[in-house]
Amino acid sequence: MEFSDRRSVWVPHPPDVAFAPIRRIGGKTGWYAWNVLWRVRGRLDRLVGGPGLAGRRDPDELVTGDTLDFWQVEAYEPERLLRLRARMRVPGDARLEFRVEPAPGGSVVHQEATFVARGLLGRAYWYAVLPFHGLVFGGMLRGLVRAMDAAAETAQNRHGLGTDT
């Protein structure tokens, strides 16, 4: 059985600006919200024989196959798509995907967590972590938007386009 948590938001930024924080996710940058919960999840994963939070090869660049904490980069298209597949121990197959699409006046950012449960244990796992999704995934998307806004402001200031105070 497949479960999913889908969220989308429009941002007033072009795809390159909107995608920049997404490509930096994980490792020392963190997950833009509830990093303490991600660290706890990493420690729990390590206790049951998983990789835990393994960091990332490079803080800015990604390639397909890279390790990104307890995820692996399954698909990567700069400024458009990042799909991660879980390496952590879970009773099923978990993925986390970010897509950025151009939209009038900006971009739409899509975030989707999917989980294909294996058996009754997999279903129980999904429902056990479901209450945390609003916190973790909702917070992550809001944190990404704040990072996008900050990146856009930095780019404007770097090009002398900032506002005078």
CATH classification of the domain holding 66: 3.30.530.20
Q: Give the closest residue to 92 by CA, choosing from 62, 71, 123.
A: 123
Provide the domain limits for residue 47. 2-156
Residue 165 lies in a domain: no
Counted domains in the chain = 1
Chain centroid to CA 124: how far?
23
Please tell me the predicted confidence (pLDDT) of residue 163. 54
Residue-wise pLDDT tens for the chain (165 aa)? 999 999 999 999 999 999 999 999 999 999 999 888 888 888 888 888 888 888 899 999 999 999 999 999 999 999 999 999 999 999 999 999 999 999 999 999 999 999 999 999 999 999 999 998 888 999 999 999 999 999 888 877 776 665 554
The answer to whether 112 and 100 have CB atoms below 8 angstroms apart is: no
Give the model's pLDDT for residue 162. Answer: 57
For residue 51, being part of any structural domain is answered with: yes
Residue 164 resides in a domain: no
34 Cβ contact list (under 8 Å, min separation 6): 135, 136, 139, 140
Q: Does the residue 163 lie in any domain?
A: no
Alpha-carbon Rg for the chain in angstroms? 17
Residue pair 5/131 in contact by the 8 Å Cβ criterion: no
Pair of tokens at residue 137? 């995934």
pLDDT at 124: 96
Chain Cα centroid distance, residue 99: 10
Has residue 115 been placed in a domain? Answer: yes
